[in-house]
C-alpha cells in the first residue's frame, strides 16, 4: 500500500495510490497519515478498503510529506563505506546518530530554499523508515516489526554549517526545506527486503549518486535496534539511514548546489522526487 498526503502546504489530506497509479482520497476513512494511523492494526484495516470506492484526486495536485506532525526526525551519518571514504571520514564503529529539525520536512517536489549566505549546499539521497509502534530496547530480531513503511528522504545539507559550527551536525541539516520526504510511504509488507533497494540522484540531469542499501554498514534492523537502546521510538518517528557515495562535498574539487539547479532522486519501488533550488529571501 502506498500512502500519501496531498494538497496545499499545511492543509494536506490523506490518500493512497491505487494499482493504476491514481491518487484516492482517504479523508472519509482517516483524518490524516500520522501517529494515530500508522499502527499495524490500522494499516491492516486500510488494506481491506477497495480503492475504487474512494474519490479520485487530480494527478497534478501537490504532494505533501507522507507523514504528518513528525515529532522526531532521526538521521544516521556515514552509513555507506564509500561515502565515508569520499568525505575523508573514518569508518564508524557504531552508528553516527543525529537529528534533523522536523520543521525541515517538506513535500517531495517542493523547492529547496537555499539560505542567503550558503555556499556549500549539498545533496544526499537516502532511504528512511517510519515507525508505526511504540518501541524501546528492541532486539534486532524485533526491529522490523515496528516499521510502518519506507520512503525516500532527501537529506539536504549545508556543509559549512554542518562541519564548521562546533561539530553539531543538526545545524547544517535543519533549515526549512532540508527534509523532502515522499512521494509516498510504502508499507512494510510491500518491501520484503529493505536491504535490496537501489537509489539514485541527479543534478541538472547528470547522475551524481547511484547506490544500493545492500552496501549499508549498519542494516535497517541494526539501526532501529541500536537507536531504541537510547530513546523510545514512537509512531510517526522518521529514521533516515544514510547516503551512498557521490555527494558534492566528496568531489574533487567539491561541487555544490546553486539557485536554479534541479535535483531528482528516486529508489526502486519507492517513487521519485524533484526539487528546484531557489534562494530563500
Q: Cα–chain-centroid distance for residue 199?
A: 12
Please tell me the least confidently modeled range out of 54-63, 80-89, 187-196, 265-274. Answer: 80-89
- pLDDT, tens only, 130-144: 999 999 999 999 999
Q: Give the residue from 254, 219, 280, 238 showing the smallest Cα distance to 73.
A: 238
Helix (H, G, I), strand (E, B) or coil at 93: coil
**99-117 tens-digit pLDDT:** 999 999 999 999 999 999 9
Give 253-268 pLDDT, tens digit per residue: 999 999 999 999 999 9
Residue 87: the pLDDT is 86
Q: Which residue has the cell 478498503?
A: 49
CATH T-level topology, domain 65-279: Fumarylacetoacetate hydrolase; domain 2 (3.90.850)
| Domain-wise residue ranges, the chain | 65-279
Distance (Å, rounded) from C-alpha 46 to C-alpha 36? 13
pLDDT in tens, 2-41: 999 999 999 999 999 999 999 999 999 999 999 999 999 9
The reported pLDDT for the residue numbered 16 is 98
C-alpha cell at 89: 571520514
What cell does 235 get? 509512531
Structure confidence at residue 89 as a pLDDT band (50, 70, 90)? confident
Q: Vertex 80, ends 77 and 83: CA angle to 5°?
A: 80
Tell whether the model's pLDDT for residue 273 goes beyond 90.
yes
> 12 is written with which cell numbers?
494536506
pLDDT above 80: residue 167: no
Q: Which residues have C-beta within 8 Å of that of residue 131, sequence separation ≥ 6?
A: 38, 146, 147, 148, 224, 233, 234, 235, 236, 237, 238, 239
Q: Is pLDDT at 165 greater than 90 in this prediction?
A: no
Write the pLDDT tens digit of every residue in 15-25: 999 999 999 99
Is the pLDDT assigned to residue 84 strictly greater than 90?
A: no
Residue count (the chain): 281
Amino acid at each position: 500500500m502506498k500512502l500519501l498526503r496531498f494538497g496545499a502546504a499545511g492543509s494536506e489530506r490523506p490518500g493512497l495510490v491505487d494499482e493504476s497509479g491514481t491518487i484516492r482520497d482517504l479523508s472519509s476513512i482517516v483524518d490524516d497519515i500520522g501517529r494515530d494511523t500508522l499502527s499495524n492494526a490500522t494499516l491492516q484495516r486500510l488494506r481491506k478498503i477497495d480503492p475504487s470506492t474512494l474519490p479520485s484526486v487530480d494527478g497534478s495536485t501537490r504532494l505533501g510529506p507522507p507523514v504528518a506532525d513528525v515529532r522526531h526526525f532521526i538521521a544516521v551519518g556515514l552509513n555507506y563505506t564509500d561515502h565515508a571514504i569520499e568525505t575523508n571520514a573514518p569508518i564508524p564503529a557504531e552508528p553516527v546518530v543525529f537529528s534533523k529539525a522536523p520543521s525541515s520536512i517538506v513535500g517531495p517536489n517542493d523547492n529547496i530554499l537555499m539560505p542567503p549566505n550558503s555556499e556549500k549546499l549539498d545533496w544526499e539521497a537516502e532511504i528512511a523508515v517510519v515507525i508505526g509502534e511504540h518501541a524501546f530496547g528492541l532486539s534486532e530480531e524485533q526491529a522490523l516489526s515496528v516499521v510502518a513503511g519506507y520512503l525516500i528522504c532527501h537529506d539536504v545539507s549545508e556543509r559549512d554549517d554542518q562541519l564548521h559550527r562546533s561539530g553539531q551536525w543538526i545545524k547544517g541539516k535543519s533549515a526549512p526545506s532540508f527534509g523532502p520526504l515522499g512521494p509516498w510511504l510504502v508499507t512494510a509488507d510491500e518491501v520484503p527486503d529493505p536491504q535490496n533497494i537501489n537509489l539514485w540522484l541527479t543534478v541538472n540531469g547528470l547522475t551524481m549518486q547511484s547506490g544500493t542499501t545492500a552496501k549499508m554498514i549498519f542494516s535497517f534492523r541494526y539501526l532501529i535496534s541500536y537507536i531504541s537502546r537510547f530513546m523510545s521510538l514512537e509512531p510517526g518517528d522518521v529514521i533516515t539511514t544514510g547516503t551512498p557515495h557521490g555527494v558534492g562535498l566528496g568531489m574533487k574539487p567539491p561541487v555544490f548546489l546553486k539557485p536554479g539547479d534541479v535535483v531528482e532522486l528516486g529508489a526502486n519501488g519507492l517513487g521519485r522526487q524533484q526539487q528546484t533550488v531557489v534562494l530563500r529571501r
